[in-house]
Each structure stands twice: as structure tokens, then as C-alpha cells.
Amino acid sequence: MAHEEIEIDTDDLQRRMDGAMNALKHEFASLRTGRASASIVDAIQVEAYGQMTPITQLGTVNVPEPRMVVINVWDKGMIQKVEKAIRESGIGINPVTDGPLIRLPIPELNEERRKQLTKVAAGYAENAKVAIRNVRRDGMDQIKKAKGAGMGEDDQKMWSEEVQDMTDKAILAVDRALEAKQAEIMQV
């Protein structure tokens, strides 16, 4: 009697590793570097028309120069509320209102703050690696269970190598993303 092929769900493992990478990219985007980025206001909510609304739904966000974010608020009655939400958001930037425009001058980062941010970025990267290694461990546990269910040694070796290869690629991607982010932070 031939035994059935036992499959390991590598698609699920890959999806979970990709999820860790996407979470890391999102965390990196929230780190303020010395350069202006429209994403700096993404998380800020404004009380508008009886509900909390993202700034991006109340005006146009532009980056006209490397150290300036400009928000063109569509409804003039909302300008003060948007300005107040920015002040209270904790992003550490003082908005300057100029008619319908709210300018956000991005202060230059000092050396100490840059070093702090590179450490924060490294912490985010380490968390992503831990998540990836946890996915790897789950994959290896699936292979051990399959061994108990009659998976042959050759198949075990093949699946183990595939899971390890996925893990190595994911860890390398995290390292590369961290290097790029740290270089961006240290760029004056």
C-alpha cells in the first residue's frame, strides 16, 4: 500500500513571513527622518462633522520641498481643528497656518536623535526577525508532525530546507530594509 504525499503549507508560512515584513515597513514609515513625508500626518485624526476623520480626507497633503509638508484644507471652517489635531498629535512639529494652507516645517534631526532613531529601527527589525523565526519554528513543527504521520526522510529534508531557505530570504530582506532605513535616518 503506497502512503499518501504529506504536504507542508509553505504558502501559509510565506504569507506570514511577508506579513512580518509588511508590518516592519509600516513601522519604518512611522519613523520620522529629517526629510518631509506626506505619511507623517497619516495617523492624525481630526474631529470633523461629528466624527473622527483622517487629515487626508480633509485636505490635500503635499511635499513641496525636502523639509516642508503642506496641507491644503478644503473647508476653511476646519483649518483650526486640523491645526489643533497636529499640535496635539505628538509628532513634534508646530504647524504654521497661511490662509487655507497649513505648513509643517520639518526640523532637522540632531546627531543624538538620529542615533536614537537608528536604535528604534533596529528594535523594529529585531521584532520582525523574531516573528519570522516563530513562523519557521511552526513550519519545522509541521514537518516533525508529518514525520510522525509517516513522511519519509528525503521529504523531511526537502521541506526543512525549503522552510529554512524561506526564513533566510526573509531575514535577509529585513536586514536590507534596516540598512536602508538607518542610512536614510543618518543622511544629513
Mean pLDDT over all residues of the chain? 89
Tell me: the pLDDT tens digits for 109-119? Answer: 788 878 888 88
Residue 174 makes CB contacts below 8 A (sequence gap 6+) with 20, 21, 24, 125, 128, 129, 132
Average of pLDDT values for 98-114?
Answer: 86
The whole-number pLDDT of residue 108 equals: 79
Nearest by Cα to 106 from 98, 115, 96: 96
How many other CB atoms sit within 10 Å of the CB of residue 82?
23
Q: What is the pLDDT of residues 122-175, one digit of tens each?
A: 999 999 999 999 999 999 999 999 998 998 999 999 999 999 999 999 999 999
Domains in the chain (CATH in brackets) are 10-30+110-186 (1.10.132.20), 38-105 (3.30.1360.40)
Cα separation, 19 vs 12, in Å, equals: 10
Which set of grid coordinates corresponds to residue 49?
A: 462633522
